């Protein structure tokens, strides 16, 4: 049975959290373990669902799609939206509706990579990438972190590329660091990948995983990757941007300029089917088309970000100030991040060790919790820190 062992740490944390909540009350557990949005979906989303259900033929709205890539008019709405925002020139042909980013990544990997090939990801990275690659007989290799900035280490990336490398996964704003990859980083990454693609006589793709694109603070710009590199596939999701993770809706962008576009788009359409997703949920496709200009209330996350960053740095923790997403990346005050997270449980704090993101020595705190939880957790973080400093 694959995957079971690797997932046990997260399951254990779930169980520990539930047990703790039963014993001491949920309000006394500071659960920073999960990236589940704490801002409800905009009201317009629920309204759109009701209107669509009232207006549309049930056989259509609950039915299979004609194309496994989704509804033509919905894909046009998405393409036009991207063109308006990023100055691109996509049409419906470039868009494939997916069952969230998780399925989008699986479709993209199966479409682009052959079994036995390799994909690179920059540590720290979303733990599921390894599972998604394994699903398709592809190896995921971690490019070690640049712990000074947590921008991708491009020299290390270049040194790791071989004839087996088929793609590089990037994720900006990043889970778990909150870092946004700069235009300069993307420009230099593109130059290296163009050079390496030419050297090995095959396209090396960028797979840009973007569920946090809309969660950027202080007006930070999140550069659009297809503008830097033609062989890019963008993987987007409304899970976080509209707080709809349970509804499973997202899309892939296959740009016309990428290598072998017609075949790649046709293959992705088939992969959506044969991987068992069949098509993105019909109702949700219509909802996101109707709500394409809607936004989540990012001010809520921003307030949490400031409070947790300020609170923890004041205590003495060393944190990366997140530019986006809803995670705080903290250097563990003990070398062993797993031991730190185990100890934190004694203070009723649940956090994910950095090694789960291929980056030991750190911990991830998901601050998509209530503001009150953050404020109430700070004395526990202080006791934890002081006790570690005192060798207790």
Backbone torsions φ then ψ of 83, nearest 5 degrees:
-65, -40
Least distance in Å: CB of 152 to ligand PLP?
A: 14
The verdict on 167 binding ligand PLP (CB under 6 A) reads no
Nearest to residue 355, comparing CAs of 33, 131, 152, 123?
Answer: 123
Least distance in Å: CB of 276 to ligand PLP?
A: 15
Quote the CA–CA distance of 327 and 125 in Å, as a whole number.
Answer: 12
Q: Which is nearer to ligand PLP, 78 or 384 (CB)?
A: 78
Near ligand PLP by CB under 6 A: residue from 20, 78, 96, 101: 101
The verdict on 102 binding ligand PLP (CB under 6 A) reads yes
The verdict on 175 binding ligand PLP (CB under 6 A) reads yes
| Residues contacting residue 76 through CB under 8 Å, at least 6 positions apart | 91, 92
The verdict on 352 binding ligand PLP (CB under 6 A) reads no
Quote the CA–CA distance of 189 and 359 in Å, as a whole number.
Answer: 21
Helix, strand counts (H, E) of the chain: 13, 13
Tokens (6 digits) for 79: 């393409």
Near ligand PLP by CB under 6 A: residue from 20, 29, 33, 35: 35
Near ligand PLP by CB under 6 A: residue from 126, 150, 309, 329: 126
The verdict on 255 binding ligand PLP (CB under 6 A) reads no
The stretches of 214-356 forming alpha helices (DSSP H) are: 261-274, 282-290, 298-315, 337-346
Quote the CA–CA distance of 256 and 226 in Å, as a whole number.
Answer: 10
Least distance in Å: CB of 182 to ligand PLP?
A: 18
The verdict on 117 binding ligand PLP (CB under 6 A) reads no
The verdict on 239 binding ligand PLP (CB under 6 A) reads yes
Least distance in Å: CB of 288 to ligand PLP?
A: 12
The verdict on 322 binding ligand PLP (CB under 6 A) reads no
CA angle 341, 152, 332 (to 5 degrees): 20
Q: Each residue of 326-348: b (16+ CB within 10 Å) or e? A: bbbbbbbbeeebbebbebbbebb
Least distance in Å: CB of 245 to ligand PLP?
A: 5
Quote the CA–CA distance of 343 and 348 in Å, as a whole number.
Answer: 9
The verdict on 231 binding ligand PLP (CB under 6 A) reads no
Q: Which span (97-105, 270-278, 300-308, 355-363) binds ligand PLP, by CB under 6 A?
A: 97-105
List interacting residues with ligand PLP (CB under 6 A).
Answer: 35, 100-102, 126, 171, 175, 209, 211, 237, 239, 245, 250
């Amino acid at each position: 049975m694959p995957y079971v062992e690797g997932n046990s740490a997260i399951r254990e944390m779930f169980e520990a959290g539930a047990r703790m909540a039963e014993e001491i009350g949920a309000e006394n557990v500071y659960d920073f373990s999960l990236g589940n949005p704490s801002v409800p979906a905009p009201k317009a989303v629920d309204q759109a669902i009701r209107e669509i259900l009232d207006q549309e033929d049930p056989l259509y709205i609950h039915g299979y799609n004609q194309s496994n890539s989704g509804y033509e008019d919905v894909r046009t709405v998405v393409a036009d939206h991207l063109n308006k925002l990023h100055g691109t020139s996509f049409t419906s042909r470039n868009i494939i509706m997916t069952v969230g980013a998780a399925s989008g990544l699986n479709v993209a990997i199966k479409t682009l990579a052959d079994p036995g090939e390799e994909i690179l990801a920059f540590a720290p990275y979303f733990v599921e990438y390894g599972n998604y690659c394994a699903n398709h007989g592809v190896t995921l290799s971690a490019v070690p972190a640049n712990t000074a900035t947590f921008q991708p280490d491009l020299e290390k990336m270049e040194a790791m590329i071989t004839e087996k490398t088929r793609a590089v996964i990037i994720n900006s704003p990043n889970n778990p660091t909150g870092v946004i990859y700069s235009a300069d980083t993307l420009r230099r990454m593109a130059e290296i990948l163009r050079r390496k693609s030419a050297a090995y006589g095959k396209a090396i793709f960028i797979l840009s995983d973007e569920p946090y694109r809309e969660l950027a603070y202080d007006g930070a710009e999140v550069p659009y990757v297809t503008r830097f590199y033609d062989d890019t596939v963008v993987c987007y999701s409304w899970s976080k941007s509209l707080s709809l993770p349970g509804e499973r809706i997202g899309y892939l962008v296959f740009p016309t300029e990428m290598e072998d576009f017609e075949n790649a788009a046709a293959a992705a359409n088939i992969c959506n089917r044969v991987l068992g997703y069949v098509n993105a949920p019909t109702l949700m496709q219509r909802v996101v088309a109707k709500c394409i200009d809607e936004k989540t209330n990012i001010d809520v996350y921003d307030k949490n970000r400031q409070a947790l960053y300020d609170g923890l740095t004041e205590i003495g923790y060393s944190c990366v100030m997140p530019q986006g997403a809803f995670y705080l990346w903290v250097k563990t005050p003990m070398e062993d991040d797993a031991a730190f997270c185990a100890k934190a449980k004694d203070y009723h704090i649940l956090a994910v060790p950095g090694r789960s993101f291929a980056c030991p020595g750190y911990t991830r705190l998901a601050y998509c919790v209530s503001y009150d939880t953050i404020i109430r957790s700070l004395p526990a973080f202080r006791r934890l820190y002081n006790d570690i400093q005192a060798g207790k």
